[in-house]
Structure 1
Amino acid sequence: MPGLAAADAVLEGRTLRYEDGPRLLWQRTYPAALGDLTGPLNVGNLTYLGVGPEVYVLNADSTVQARVDLPGLVASLDASSGTVRVTTQGDGYTERFTLGDAAQGAPVQERVVPPPNPEITGWLARAADAVPQSELAQAAAQDPTNPFLALRQARLVGIQGDTFSALSAVRRALSAEMPFPAWVMLAGRLDTAGFPAAANLALDRAKRDAAERGFDPEISVSRDTLSAYGNPSGYVGTLLAQSRLTRAGAWLAYLRELHPRFEGGPALYLRYAALLDAQGRGGEAEEWRQFTRTLRSGTLYNLGPDGTGQVRDAARLVTLALLLALAASFAALVARAWRVQGEDTRPLGGRFRSLLRRPLSRARRTTLAYASFGERLALVTLALGLVAAVGGWQWTNHTGQGLRAAALTSGTYGGGWVTARLSDLNLRPSPDAALLAGLSAQLDGDDGVARAQYTRAQTTGAGQEACALNNLGVIAAQRGDVPQSRESYRAALAIRPDLAAAAFNLGLNPGTPSTAFQQQYRPGQPRLCYPDQRSLARAVSGDLSVTLRRDLQQPLALLNDAPGQSARLGAALLGALALLAAIAFTLLIPRAATDARLRRPAVYRVLALLLPGAALLEGAWGGVLLLAWGATLAALAPLTGLISYAGLLNPAQVTTRNLLLAVLIGVYALNTLAFALIELRHARNTRRERAER
């Protein structure tokens, strides 16, 4: 570093003054909206000043020589070691960066991952917008590194009719260096200003910058994250509303290449396809639909990006169906046992008083005590299904919450912000969590930690082991050990033959969108393997059996509200477990009365007709009819407005409603036929018994 110059920069309040002794050479005031100021740090004839999340390198004549975009607010500047080091402060984390030669733009030596925070990613645009129009020319001359200032100039001179100057200003804007979220914001403004070709170039710069920073199309992106990264999906929605399909197609191509798995993506793709259909471009529309279908691969049960929502709706439907089936069964059993139970409990003090006076004797005369063993076993099966359904509902809530966590939906792994949020998730110790931790470390350049985590991930023959082997091969390739890297790739393919990353690294060219992205935007670099949604779900909450085992070990924890966990749903699960235990206990109680004594009361017969399968629990057909009836009614329940299965089915649609009604009619028809056959058999048996007497 050159020695300190005679003139020094000093900071007074929010004004940076460059003084040569008592003489003021220049000064610049920074608005409070730009954030805290840090420094200045005088190094030779250069001045380093932290402004919010930026470090400006200013020449002695006050012009900006370089600007450094950092992922957090600048907390300190230091050059005591001979190089300029910057400390940034984020939300619960601190990062340190080393700046290179200012003549080369002061490049950051470490990986910089912009956090999904609009205050950080939108800083450059806000700084340009804060400049009054009367000072725009001076501000643009002093800070040629801010492209938003150049774009404002382009729009201003364009309004005045100076097309040449406008295009020159646009070219200056496109020559800047900045993180990809700022490029996306710039592209949107270029589009709005009437420079679509320049907007396309800005989007291409955004993709290249994102690829260099470790962002990848295999990683999901939440709606909030995408909004902080320039909100391209929101802009696409605006373009589609205006029927500007050409521009919408350009922006959707950006999303498809870099963030294809963004939240709400499938709906937006299908909306675009429908508009293409309306214009007679059916081939293009079908291609977008096909692309949307490919996004299901690797998701939970291959249901698509919102698979947890569909599984949750299925669990809710099954829960309601089983509740209806259990209620119908109990109603039928109560109707059949009511008279005999009253006779048996009269000596004990009556049907209800005996519960307090003679509880043990009364326990042998509960309604289920009058049911046959087969009927009780059927009820145990229904209750067991109810526990699994409510537990599955709880599991999907927890898993869905985890999969939507910001750390897993920011488009990349690693970096200070993602690492801090990842630690907040408290992932289960598992091979899948180890794979995720290893990938984060590898992207941040910590190969030692990455190797240790990948070793932990290699405990099964499943996909995470193949992924870990591929990534170990990437580490070997980057240190020049080509034979070892190829051996790792082959081992990964042997475990998982469909692993596109390993195939790509072996030169097999699998032709997937992710490998095409790698080939275009990271040419010559081996491809990493990223965990799919199924692996992330296991890392977040494990399988359903893991969740149920945890709930059984800590039942009172179910009554606490927590992210992804409802206290009411926890209470429902405890209630289902209690019901299962109570019904299972009745299997040990001898039957209190025979069928001959119970007979078939009129109310019981009416309920047998109204509640299909409720009076047929002894046989398999009874259970089938009962579950079919309960499931059909549960599927029709959204028509009441009390419940919905938005991700599963919509009975308000005529076709769906008619199909469900047809099933319901069929269930009642079969139940009526079975009821008639049973009544005939019962009548025949009764006549035979009378004849024998």
Structure 2
Amino acid sequence: MTPRARSFLLPLTLAALHAPAQAVPVLEGRTLRYENGPRLAWQRTYPDAAGTLTGPLEVSGTTYLGVGPAVYAYTAAGEVVGRADLTGTVTSLEAVGSAVRVGVQGSGYAELFTLERQGDSLTVQERVVPPPDPAVTGWLARVADAVPAADLNRAAQEDPTNPFLALRQAARTPDSDPYARLSALRRALDTTLPFPAWGQLAARLDAAGFPSAADVALDRARKDAAARGFDPELPVNRAALGAYGNPSAYAGTLLTQNKLGRAEVWMRHLRTLHPRFEGAPALYARYAELLDAQGRAGEAEDWRQFTRDLRRGTLYNLGLEGTRDVRDVVRLAALALVIALAGGLVTLAARAWRQQGQDTRPMGGRYRAWLTRPLSRARRGLLGYASLPQRFALALLAAALFVVLIGWQWSNDAGAGLRSAALSTGTYGGGWVSAQLGALDLQPGADTFLLTGLAAQLDGDDGAARERYTRALPDACARNNLGVIAQTRGDEPQARELYRAALAAQPGLAAAAYNLGLNPRTPETTFQAGYRPGEPRLCYPDQRSLTRAVTGDLGTLLERFLRAPLSVLTTPAGEPRPLGWLILLTALLGLSLFLSLLLPRAATDADLGRPGAYRVLGWLIPGSAFLDGAWGLVLLIAWATVIAALLPLSSLLRFPTLPDPAGPAVSGALLTLLAGLYLLNAAVLVTAEVQRRRRAHREGGA
């Protein structure tokens, strides 16, 4: 190296040695340290309950750290800028200019979000949909509960964004210091939270004796849910509601404690945000009864009318849990048809038994004949002695049983689909819901395109939403939502034209009426006006549309069986169907009965006679002795239906949604009908016997 170069490098080296070291964040174990050379500027230690730590990442002087399903942002002085609550465990942090790209991972889904610091706040550019997972939605409360009492003040100072820490401070503050308690409550409410956390905070505030603060938290929960795209028109299952703070359980607790004043606040909250939650009719009815007991009949009737209004748009307008009603009706029908079919077969077998024994004796007996002369033995089966009308009646019963069993399977599939997580979390879209929606066996058609279009539109992808809505046309709901897209991009004339077309196609469509300024009075439009003012209202598929999307109608299941009979044994996901084998066996039985119509009769009525067992069964099983006529089949089915309806009295089975036969009115009506059927059967049998004797007397006299 030349002397000139040495003289040039020496000052640079000395300057580098005396320059201050750059401050950098370092994560050691579960402690985040911000070091300025050998000097420690600040540090934070995170408990195990906080979950996985990811990072740190420093961007433009702000330090970002993934903590469980959240990202914290700190200034160079260690102050919390903000916290972003995301949808799953944070797995990656990456700088993109002045913003931060965050990767999160959940059960079966992954999402990317973009965070940006704006002044003293941290914002997420994309829509964040909290999944109904208590591990995510209950994370803040769980972290606060894990802090020991001795470290509470320090933890609250280090993380002022966790309101559950401030609430613990307020609860521990003595009554002699109301100012400190009020200050802690203000800090608890002066934060940004997703609505599940607001709901959990409201319940804790209420239980701790701070009802006014709880009311504020509930109001903020409704506003946050509305901003995230949650809507009262969509159902919420029990698991999802539990993850969202479980307001129905807390309302039920208040009713049990007879705290109707506070219960009313929570019931109104449910009615506004989640009116269609699983179990809602029972809770509404319970609340109405308590109002009646207090002499508030008008309010009680208002809640009952509200419950009736929720039936509109449901499956056959049966209510939020209408598939259970359908299931119990078809179960009753299936049981009645099984009893009728068994009664008819036993009665006809009793008549043919003696004659069959005589006919098969030369062939070696009833059972050995299958080996010696199988074709002749097959012709002399018990059904071979029945007349053509009797065989046809039994074949009709088997066909009806097959259709009813398919209906039972359809009600099971429809109920499971409607209660699936993808369709009953209060919104569509988002990584978790979209992953669940992708697992459903959606039927191709307008209803499915409407559903997937809504998910895309709520996530901000108007291009994909427009394409799917176009494929769903001429569906009125799709027209309305295309109008919302047009209005959002500023094309007001086209939007109003689409709203009018939607309302003309479906005059009761409240969303289109609302968007045209007609002010329909429904819970959904009231929510829209109160919590999303100035925004056009989306149209959501009703329960009948969702049923068509997830299972199709009864004809779809029948068509699928005819194309692939073994498809009834398993679901599209490969899970076994309990009714599958029963449906297959019934189909084979029905086919055998219809094929028996081709066999010639093995003996005449005169040969068969009227054995004693046949006569006894004819009296015990109404209609079974005269299946040759249509009235015999009607009488047999009516008797079997009454017997099936009375079977729950034996405690062997029950139909939860049907009237309880143990009730005096129901049991009295059923027993009266049963007695009437036996009297009618006796009259027919006596009349037939008298006519038979007269005919025999005339023939003998001739």
TM-score interval, normalised by the smaller of the two chains: over 0.9
Query: Is 1:400 aligned to residue 418 of structure 2?
Result: no
Query: Is 1:319 aligned to residue 334 of structure 2?
Result: yes
Residue of structure 2 equivalent to 1:598: 608
Q: Deviations over 1:204-244 (max 9, x none)?
A: 11011000100011111111100000011111111111111
Is the 1:63–1:141 contact (alpha carbons within 8 Å) kept by the matching residues of 2?
A: no
**Which 10-residue stretch deviates more, 516-525 or 532-541?**
532-541
Paired residue type of 2:117? D
Q: Deviations over 1:620-645 (max 9, x none)?
A: 22122111110111111111222110
Q: Deviations over 1:473-516 (max 9, x none)?
A: 11111011111111111111122111111111111111111111
Residue of structure 2 equivalent to 1:133: 149
Residue of structure 2 equivalent to 1:292: 307
SS, match of residue 103 in structure 2: strand
Query: Is 1:641 aligned to residue 647 of structure 2?
Result: no
Query: Is 1:685 aligned to residue 695 of structure 2?
Result: yes
SS, match of residue 81 in structure 2: strand
Q: Distance in 2 between matches of 1:385 and 1:99?
A: 61
Residue of structure 2 equivalent to 1:371: 386
Paired residue type of 1:8? V
Q: Distance in 1 between matches of 2:114 and 2:163?
A: 24
User: By how many angstroms is 1:102 displaced?
Assistant: 3.8
Matches within 5 A, 1:130-279: 130-157=146-173, 159-279=174-294
Is the 2:21–2:36 contact (alpha carbons within 8 Å) kept by the matching residues of 1?
A: no
Query: Is 1:676 aligned to residue 686 of structure 2?
Result: yes
Is the 2:622–2:678 contact (alpha carbons within 8 Å) kept by the matching residues of 1?
A: yes
Query: Is 1:516 aligned to residue 526 of structure 2?
Result: yes
Q: Distance in 1 between matches of 2:696 and 2:610?
A: 12
**Which 10-residue stretch deviates more, 7-16 or 183-192?**
7-16
Q: Deviations over 1:97-127 (max 9, x none)?
A: 1123342511111100000111111111122
Structure 1 segments of 4 or more deviating over 6 A?
561-565
Q: Distance in 1 between matches of 2:673 and 2:22?
A: 90
Q: Distance in 1 between matches of 2:573 and 2:389?
A: 41
**Which 10-residue stretch deviates more, 73-82 or 248-257?**
73-82
Residue of structure 2 equivalent to 1:495: 505
2:638 to 622, 628, 633: 628
Residue of structure 1 equivalent to 2:92: 76
Larger radius of gyration: 2
Residue of structure 1 equivalent to 2:563: 553
User: By how many angstroms is 1:338 displaced?
Assistant: 2.3
Query: Is 1:416 aligned to residue 426 of structure 2?
Result: no
What stretches of structure 1 of length at least 5 have no aligned partner?
A: none
Is the 2:81–2:122 contact (alpha carbons within 8 Å) kept by the matching residues of 1?
A: no
Query: Is 1:113 aligned to residue 129 of structure 2?
Result: yes
User: By how many angstroms is 1:344 displaced?
Assistant: 2.7
User: TM-score normalized by structure 2?
Assistant: 0.94
User: By how many angstroms is 1:5 displaced?
Assistant: 10
SS, match of residue 263 in structure 1: coil
Paired residue type of 1:188? A
User: By how many angstroms is 1:594 displaced?
Assistant: 2.5
SS, match of residue 686 in structure 1: helix
Identity of aligned residues (%): 60
Q: Deviations over 1:153-209 (max 9, x none)?
A: 21122x343222212221222221110000001100110111111111111110110
**Which 10-residue stretch deviates more, 63-72 or 563-572?**
563-572
Paired residue type of 2:180? S
Query: Is 1:20 aligned to residue 36 of structure 2?
Result: yes
Residue of structure 2 equivalent to 1:530: 540
User: By how many angstroms is 1:286 displaced?
Assistant: 1.6
Residue of structure 1 equivalent to 2:466: 451
Q: Distance in 2 between matches of 1:65 and 1:525?
A: 31
Is the 1:402–1:564 contact (alpha carbons within 8 Å) kept by the matching residues of 2?
A: no
Residue of structure 2 equivalent to 1:428: 443
**Residues 344, 299 of structure 1: CA spacing in aligned structure 2 closer, same or farther, 3 A cutoff?**
same
Query: Is 1:467 aligned to residue 477 of structure 2?
Result: yes
Count residues with an aligned counterpart: 683
Paired residue type of 2:645? A
Is the 1:401–1:564 contact (alpha carbons within 8 Å) kept by the matching residues of 2?
A: no
Residue of structure 2 equivalent to 1:356: 371
Residue of structure 1 equivalent to 2:56: 40
User: TM-score normalized by structure 1?
Assistant: 0.96
Q: Distance in 2 between matches of 1:499 and 1:424?
A: 30
User: By how many angstroms is 1:568 displaced?
Assistant: 4.1
User: By how many angstroms is 1:269 displaced?
Assistant: 0.8
Paired residue type of 1:438? G
**Residues 566, 308 of structure 1: CA spacing in aligned structure 2 closer, same or farther, 3 A cutoff?**
farther
User: By how many angstroms is 1:532 displaced?
Assistant: 1.4
User: By how many angstroms is 1:259 displaced?
Assistant: 0.7
Q: Distance in 1 between matches of 2:182 and 2:282?
A: 36
Is the 1:390–1:573 contact (alpha carbons within 8 Å) kept by the matching residues of 2?
A: yes
SS, match of residue 101 in structure 1: strand
Q: Distance in 2 between matches of 1:611 and 1:179?
A: 64
What stretches of structure 2 of length at least 5 have no aligned partner?
A: 1-19
Query: Is 1:507 aligned to residue 508 of structure 2?
Result: no
